[in-house]
Amino acid sequence: MPKNLIQQTLVLLKPDAIQRGIIGPIISRFEQAGLKIVGMKMVWVDKAFSKKHYSAHVDKKFYPGLENFITSGPVISMVVEGIQSVKAVRKIVGSTEPHQASPGTIRGDFAHHSYEYTDKKGIAIKNLIHASGNIKEAKKEIELWFKAKEIHTYKTVHETHVY
């Protein structure tokens, strides 16, 4: 397998996923697809770190609600590795707006908020999870969330069958 097709991407399980007690079923979706978790930790995000992670959104109207949400409870951050993992993870996660997410995706199966609902309530959309949007973003986000020594190399049985 060409090395550049094996990628790493950042996945965040947001406070709603943790508070609802569904982190196990969510993480298993990635493992069942043959992806592997090479870094993982639980973090309580503060406002300064939220601004770093969501730097592209800080000046947008919805940002205050997003900041309140991401700082409302612990977050599990993961580095997920595999064949074209950025695209694979986003496919597994589903549309950013849970109301539009297909059944069988994480958001389609576990969430149902819509932008219309959250805009009227003045709250952030509760969509359980963040996944890097592209390879460049994944690299930047992984460097923000993880030190190099926190990312591990190991072999899984999937690498015999999937890679």
Give residue-wise pLDDT tens across range 15-34: 999 999 999 999 999 999 99
Q: Find the helix packing angle between 85-93 and 23-32, rounded to 10°.
A: 130
- Over residues 61-66, mean pLDDT: 90
Model's pTM, two decimal places?
A: 0.92
Task: Tell me the C-alpha distance between 128 and 75, whole Å.
Answer: 10
CATH of the domain at 25: 3.30.70.141
Q: Can you give the pLDDT at residue 3? A: 57
Q: Can you give the pLDDT at residue 40? A: 98
CA distances 95 to 40, 88, 91, 161, Å, are: 23, 13, 8, 29
How many distinct structural domains can be found in the chain? 1
Catalytic residue among 113, 130, 152, 161: 130
What's the CA angle centered on 27, arms 144 and 157, to 5 degrees?
100
Q: Is 57 among the residues known to form the active site?
A: no
Range of the structural domain that residue 7 is part of:
3-161
